[in-house]
């Protein structure tokens, strides 16, 4: 049963003018983050750059803010500041993806974009399928016919039907595909497939850690600064003090892996973001040689709320584009330098304390500490960032709509960068060693108050909007 073909989408969209007007009226619409035009957004998909043009696809339920049948939405940009919203790229219009076009990726080679994604099917007998599907494009706007790569019958027989989210990695002339999976004993793992020409994929290996969640989603395997990293989103980790406090986690391991002998060891798992709303990131190499990552500013099945935006007909967003670096076996992430182009109306302080009354809800704070000392920063009325010399914490009250606190242990904070949008926070600590991402729904004015036990150099910027050229609706 087809759930959302292009024809169905066009017909429904023509009847949804009131929805789009309601969405536009929401004061919590973000100014410098990508959001769905209406409806629901989740995982970034198919990220790539071709001939200078960045393509940003994403999981998209166009008319349902609580989610529904998924297709791929599509933004493009040349500078990460000016964007164009396009018609959806992939529709649920084939027997192998009839109930949804799930997450996948892009691999660019010789001017051809190879898209791999998961097609979801729910059969009349209640059984389900998650099929790996391939298609190609020369421009990122049109694509060849879909072709089936693997069905559930092709995966190892001890797996559940949960096998999804293909991502391609090339090493020594060979192509590797990582797929997130869950076996029949509820153990999460990665399937590693191999091909010498992007077809006829053969199972190469299985990567796992004992007793580490029941499902591993959205794997991303890449080399960075001479080291191999595996980023993935495990489900089913138990809370451990300050760690693993979200319903589902996202993090990375430094992977020691010999692709010939299959000798493998993990460095351990570290959360890539410590905030309330972060999941399913995906990275790609751009034409400048940067590894850029977007994440979903959201999580499924949350115990807290985004009700203000749901009431207006939309939900979720993507993070700022982040450039990844590796230092001492750890991933660091900072906003792409293009985001600096949104800065305006700079205010500078060198002080132990300051109070700043903003003229709008969108700002950046860049703070350099002369020495690592305790501090407290209050945003709006009830959002507090604090450091006591050993623990950094983000705490929310009413503005969090159920979000309470998240924290990390660190013996030093030397710099802090805070990006506040109308309903989101992204906090980067120690050159991006630690990051906190969260939605927020403040009621008061965007005031900032700092108190600390030493001096800091502080720059505060108002932030401009990204420009999004909308498609006709």
Q: Are residues 370 and 260 in the same domain?
A: no
Q: List the one residue out of 343, 338, 297, 339 whose CA is nearest residue 435.
A: 297
**Count of other CB atoms within 10 angstroms of residue 378:** 16
- The burial of 301, by beta-carbon neighbours within 10 Å (0-12 exposed, 13-18 middle, 19 or more buried), is given as exposed
Q: pTM for the whole thing?
A: 0.97
The two three-digit tokens of residue 43, written as one number: 């995982």
46 part of a folded domain: yes
- Out of 335, 362, 380, a domain closes at 335
Q: Are residues 228 and 174 in the same domain?
A: yes
Look at residue 2 in the predicted model and tell me its pLDDT. Answer: 64
Look at residue 472 in the predicted model and tell me its pLDDT. Answer: 59
Q: List the one residue out of 102, 108, 98 whose CA is nearest residue 179.
A: 102
CB contact at 8 A, 253 and 229: yes
DSSP 143: -
Q: How far is residue 117's CA from residue 238's CA, in Å, rounded to a whole number?
A: 29
Residue ranges making up the domain that contains 211: 6-335
What CATH number does the domain containing 382 carry? 2.60.120.560
The two three-digit tokens of residue 159, written as one number: 């797996």
Q: Are residues 150 and 12 in the same domain?
A: yes
Active-site residue flag, 205: no
CB contact at 8 A, 121 and 98: yes
Q: How far is residue 61's CA from residue 38's CA, in Å, rounded to a whole number?
A: 8
Q: How far is residue 412's CA from residue 376's CA, in Å, rounded to a whole number?
A: 15
Q: Are residues 236 and 380 in the same domain?
A: no
Q: How far is residue 69's CA from residue 63's CA, in Å, rounded to a whole number?
A: 10
Look at residue 39 in the predicted model and tell me its pLDDT. Answer: 98
CB contact at 8 A, 444 and 58: no
The SS3 of residue 20 is helix
472 part of a folded domain: no
For the chain, the helix, strand and coil percentages under 3-state DSSP, each to the nearest 5: 5, 55, 40
Q: Are residues 393 and 328 in the same domain?
A: no
CB contact at 8 A, 469 and 362: no
Look at residue 335 in the predicted model and tell me its pLDDT. Answer: 98
CB contact at 8 A, 58 and 316: no
> ∠ CA(439), CA(70), CA(299), 5° rounding?
25
Catalytic residue, candidates 26, 43, 85, 301: 43
Q: Are residues 141 and 200 in the same domain?
A: yes
**Count of other CB atoms within 10 angstroms of residue 449:** 15
Look at residue 444 in the predicted model and tell me its pLDDT. Answer: 82
In order, the DSSP letters of 194-249 are: EESSSSS-EEEEEE--TT--SEEEEEEEEEETTEEEEEEEEE-PPPBTTBS-SSB-
Q: Are residues 192 and 141 in the same domain?
A: yes
Region of 341 (left: φ > 0; alpha: ψ -120 to 50; beta: rest) is: alpha
- Out of 281, 302, 335, a domain closes at 335
What is the domain count for the chain?
A: 2
Q: Any idea which residue has 């132990």 for tokens?
A: 352
473 part of a folded domain: no
Q: Are residues 320 and 354 in the same domain?
A: no
Q: Are residues 20 and 120 in the same domain?
A: yes
Q: Are residues 85 and 47 in the same domain?
A: yes
Q: What does the pLDDT profile of the chain (473 residues) look like in tens digits?
A: 568 999 999 999 999 999 999 999 999 999 999 999 999 999 999 999 999 999 999 999 999 999 999 999 999 999 999 999 999 999 999 999 999 999 999 999 999 999 999 999 999 898 999 999 999 999 999 999 999 999 999 999 999 999 999 999 999 999 999 999 999 999 999 999 999 999 999 999 999 999 999 999 999 999 999 999 999 999 999 999 999 999 999 999 999 999 999 999 999 999 999 999 999 999 999 999 999 999 999 999 999 999 999 999 999 999 999 999 999 999 999 999 999 999 999 999 898 888 888 768 899 999 999 899 999 999 998 999 999 999 999 999 999 999 999 999 999 999 999 999 999 999 999 999 999 999 999 988 888 999 998 889 999 999 999 999 987 55
1 part of a folded domain: no
326 part of a folded domain: yes
210 part of a folded domain: yes
From residue 387, how far is each of 185, 243, 415, 437, 446 by CA, in Å?
42, 17, 12, 17, 21
Residues in the chain: 473
Q: Are residues 127 and 203 in the same domain?
A: yes
- The separation between CA 388 and the C-alpha centre of its own chain, rounded to angstroms, equals 30
């Amino acid at each position: 049963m087809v759930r959302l073909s292009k024809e169905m989408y066009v017909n429904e969209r023509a009847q949804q003018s009131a929805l789009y007007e309601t969405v536009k009226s929401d004061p919590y619409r973000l100014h410098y983050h990508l959001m769905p035009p209406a409806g629901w957004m989740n995982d970034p998909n198919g990220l790539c750059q071709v001939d200078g043009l960045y393509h940003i696809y994403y999981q998209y339920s166009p008319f349902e803010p609580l989610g529904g049948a998924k297709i791929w939405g599509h933004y493009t940009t040349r500078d990460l500041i000016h964007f164009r919203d396009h018609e959806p790229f992939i529709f649920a219009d084939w027997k192998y993806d009839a109930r949804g076009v799930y997450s996948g990726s892009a691999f660019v080679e010789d001017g051809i974009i190879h898209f791999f994604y998961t097609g979801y099917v729910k059969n009349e007998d209640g059984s389900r399928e998650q099929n790996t599907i391939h298609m190609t494009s020369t421009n990122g706007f049109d694509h060849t016919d879909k072709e089936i790569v693997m069905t559930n019958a092709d995966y190892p027989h001890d797996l559940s039907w949960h096998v999804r989210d293909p991502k391609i990695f090339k090493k020594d002339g060979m192509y590797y595909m990582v797929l997130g999976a869950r076996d029949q004993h509820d153990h999460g793992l990665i399937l590693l497939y191999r091909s010498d020409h992007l077809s006829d994929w053969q199972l190469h290996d299985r990567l796992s850690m004992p007793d580490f969640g029941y499902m591993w989603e959205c794997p991303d395997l890449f080399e960075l600064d001479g080291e191999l990293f595996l980023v993935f989103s495990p489900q089913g980790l138990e809370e451990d003090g300050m760690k693993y406090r979200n319903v589902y986690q996202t993090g990375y391991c430094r992977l020691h892996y010999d692709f010939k002998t299959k000798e493998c060891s993990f460095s351990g798992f570290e959360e890539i973001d410590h905030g309330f709303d972060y999941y399913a990131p995906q990275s790609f190499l751009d034409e400048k040689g940067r590894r850029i990552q977007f994440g979903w500013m959201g999580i499924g099945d949350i115990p807290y709320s985004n009700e203000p935006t749901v009431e207006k007909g939309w939900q979720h967003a993507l993070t700022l584009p982040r450039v990844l670096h590796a230092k001492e076996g750890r991933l660091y992430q900072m906003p792409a330098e293009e985001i600096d182009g949104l800065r305006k109306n700079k205010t500078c302080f060198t002080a132990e304390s300051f109070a700043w009354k903003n003229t709008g809800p969108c700002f950046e704070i860049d703070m350099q500490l002369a020495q690592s000392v305790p501090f407290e920063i209050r945003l709006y009325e009830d959002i507090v960032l604090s450091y006591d010399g050993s623990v950094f914490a983000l705490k929310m009250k009413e503005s969090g709509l159920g979000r309470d606190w998240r924290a990390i242990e660190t013996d030093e904070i030397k710099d802090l960068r805070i990006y506040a949008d109308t309903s989101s926070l992204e906090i980067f600590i120690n050159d991006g060693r630690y990051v906190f991402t969260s939605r927020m729904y403040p009621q008061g004015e965007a005031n900032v108050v700092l108190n600390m036990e030493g001096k800091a150099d502080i720059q505060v910027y108002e932030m401009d909007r990204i420009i999004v050229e909308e498609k006709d609706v």
